[in-house]
């Protein structure tokens, strides 16, 4: 079995079917994403969020070190006043398992940009140095200045701003595989 087929099987075994392989240079990095993180996100300053992440320019350089990536779209009916935290933690653990198995296939650069800000711990220490689980904590694509909307649309996957509550939400993870 070829490596691509093995990775597709790993993703399927973890219960994900809505994903696309892309060239990593198709990942759109934008300054406005970082500004929206800083001014508008309640997770700003937590362990895997800015300012605990590389600068926008460093993120651009990071992505240039990769050729292949997988955009994984997760959907869930949710109420913004009662976010499905348990579901999110379960999805994060499944995504981390994919990253681990891809690494074990020989892809030493495998790196996951998680579908949400790290939410593994019920109480975040608030900084990277005192993180309780550094081995598993991963930043979101937005924390790495990824324009998730444009990147997702560019690979042919639908994604829209959620306009009503409750509603179906989309969460996007990106697995870099080289």
Model pTM above 0.75: yes
**Using CA atoms, how far apart are residues 68 and 65, in angstroms rounded to an integer?**
10
For range 123-135, the mean pLDDT: 78
The region, left, alpha or beta by phi > 0 then psi within -120 to 50, assigned to residue 166 is: beta
- Angle formed by the axes of helices 3-13 and 85-104, to 10°? 160
Which tens digit of pLDDT belongs to each residue from 42-62? 889 888 999 989 999 999 999
Which tens digit of pLDDT belongs to each residue from 57-105? 999 999 999 999 999 999 999 988 888 989 999 999 999 999 999 999 9
> Rounded to the nearest 5 degrees, what angle is found at the Cα of 15, between the Cα atoms of 14 and 20?
95
């Amino acid at each position: 079995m070829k490596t691509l087929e093995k990775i597709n099987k790993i993703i399927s075994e973890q219960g994900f079917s809505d994903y696309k392989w892309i060239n990593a240079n198709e990942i759109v990095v934008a300054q406005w994403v970082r500004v929206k993180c800083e001014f508008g996100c309640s997770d700003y300053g937590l362990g895997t969020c800015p300012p605990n992440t590389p600068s926008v320019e460093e993120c651009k350089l990071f992505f240039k070190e990769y050729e292949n990536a997988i955009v994984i779209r997760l959907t869930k009916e949710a109420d913004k006043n009662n976010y499905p935290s348990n579901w999110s933690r379960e999805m994060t653990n499944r995504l981390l398992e994919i990253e681990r198995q891809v690494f074990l296939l020989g892809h030493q650069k495998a790196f996951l940009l998680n579908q949400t800000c790290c939410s593994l711990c019920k109480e975040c220490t608030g900084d990277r140095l005192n993180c309780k689980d550094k081995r598993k904590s991963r930043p979101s694509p937005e924390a790495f200045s990824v324009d998730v909307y444009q990147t997702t649309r560019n690979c042919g996957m639908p994604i829209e701003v959620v306009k009503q509550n409750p509603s179906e939400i989309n969460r996007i993870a990106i697995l870099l595989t080289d």
